[in-house]
Amino acid sequence: MFGPKTYNSTDVPIQVDNLPMDLEDEILRLKKNLNAVLLAHYYQESEIQDIADFVGDSLELSKRATSTDAEVIVFAGVHFMAETAKILSPSKQVLIPDLNAGCSLAEGCPADLFKRWREQYPNYVAITYINCSAEVKALSDIICTSSSAEKIIRQIPEDKPILFAPDKNLGNYLMKKTGRKMEIWQGTCVVHETFSAKKLIHLKSLYPDAKIIAHPECEEVILDQADFIGSTSALLRHVQQSSDKEFIVATETGIIHQMEKSCPEKLFIPAPPEESCACNQCPYMKLNTMEKVYLCMKNRKPEIILTDDLIQKAIIPIQRMMEMSR
């Protein structure tokens, strides 16, 4: 299993002493003083989601990062998401509670290897999942998220061959869905590859009325059992709109907080991982805590710093995604 990556940083270590009694009040006060907006992904711990100005999936968070008037973006998510916010809003300060909040997909696709892979397929259009580093984005033609990928692939002319990186499960799912053949980078998400097909069948036998809903980063054996497949936001919308009352949720457990909040009368059961562990929680996302949100705002670090050259190159495929996903 991948461990959280240590990012090179000139930042001082976070001090955990002298924390104020009421972190929530302090975060709200700092938000006002800094003219900051707090953006959170659905996989963040529930206290962080509850105090955020906006909670969303990768595409929605990227859009919020462009539209905000705030001077500071506090990004409670993982590193590639905060980097995307910086690329889209380079004049703003982007803070992340823990610089080590990486992603196994991004770490499994280093820029030098991606570049060499691309060079083997000179006539291909490189569509890259947003779960990658800024350097890999800069080497790609179009970025996509799980909620925009299908729409984007359908706009690529039939005679144009496609390279897809870095998630093989999402890539295979998209090939099946769109009927487009693609060359796929063999990366996986440490969370979504842990679900057990055998245990899922057993759970379904205990809850025969429950519908299985899954994120497309899951393996094919899980997706084959799913009644609905979609991005985090699509999964949330689905349970809100569905007349069904019970759901087995095959994605990171953090999303269940919003599901229970908006549908308190429904039952949400986390899909079981292979081992008896908490592997259905993202070890990177969960590095962020309320304490670290407070401290990053108080210290105005860790901060996402990118060179102008990298921003100028990486923004092109992200803007293409924005245009093609409208």
For ligand 13P, the binding residues (CB under 6 A) are: 57-58, 131, 145-147, 189, 215, 217, 231-232
Strand pairing report for 125-129 and 142-144: parallel
- In 153-197 the beta strands, taken as DSSP E runs, fall at 162-165, 182-184
104 near ligand SF4, judged by CB under 6 A:
yes
- Provide the sign of the torsion angle of the four alpha carbons 78, 84, 85, 86, taken in this order: positive
105 near ligand SF4, judged by CB under 6 A:
yes
Q: Which residue has the tokens 């949330």?
A: 236
Stretch that binds ligand SF4, among 17-25, 111-119, 187-195, 225-233 (CB under 6 A): 187-195
Residues 140-159 that bind ligand SF4 (CB under 6 A): none
Minimum separation from the CB atom of position 282 to ligand SF4 (A): 3
Distance from C-alpha of 53 to C-alpha of 100, rounded to nearest angstrom: 23
* Torsions phi, psi for 320 (to 5 deg): -60, -40
Distance from C-alpha of 85 to C-alpha of 190, rounded to nearest angstrom: 24
Contacts with ligand SF4, 60-89, as mask; x by CB under 6 A: ------------------x-----------
Is the CB of 136 or the CB of 191 nearer to ligand SF4? 191
User: Which of 206, 324, 319 has its CA nearest to residue 269?
Assistant: 206
Is the CB of 58 or the CB of 68 nearer to ligand 13P? 58
Q: Which of the listed partners (ligand 13P, ligand SF4, none) does 58 bind, with a CB threshold of 5 to 8 Å by partner kind?
A: ligand 13P
Radius of gyration in angstroms for the set of CA atoms belonging to the chain, rounded to a whole number? 19
Distance from C-alpha of 52 to C-alpha of 317, rounded to nearest angstrom: 28
Minimum separation from the CB atom of position 161 to ligand 13P (A): 25
Is the CB of 237 or the CB of 245 nearer to ligand 13P? 237
Is 177 in a helix, a strand, or coil? helix
Is the CB of 93 or the CB of 280 nearer to ligand 13P? 280
User: Which of 321, 319, 320, 225 has its CA nearest to residue 272?
Assistant: 225
Minimum separation from the CB atom of position 19 to ligand SF4 (A): 26
Is 164 in a helix, a strand, or coil? strand
- Which one of residues 259, 284, 301, 315 is an interface residue with ligand SF4 (CB under 6 A)? 284
- In 77-214 the beta strands, taken as DSSP E runs, fall at 93-95, 125-129, 142-144, 162-165, 182-184, 211-214
Q: Which of the listed partners (ligand 13P, ligand SF4, none) does 104 bind, with a CB threshold of 5 to 8 Å by partner kind?
A: ligand SF4
Q: Which of the listed partners (ligand 13P, ligand SF4, none) does 271 bind, with a CB threshold of 5 to 8 Å by partner kind?
A: none
132 near ligand SF4, judged by CB under 6 A:
no
Is the CB of 70 or the CB of 109 nearer to ligand SF4? 109
One-letter identity of residue 140: S
Task: List residues binding ligand SF4 (CB under 6 A).
Answer: 78, 103-105, 131, 189-191, 217, 252, 282, 284-285
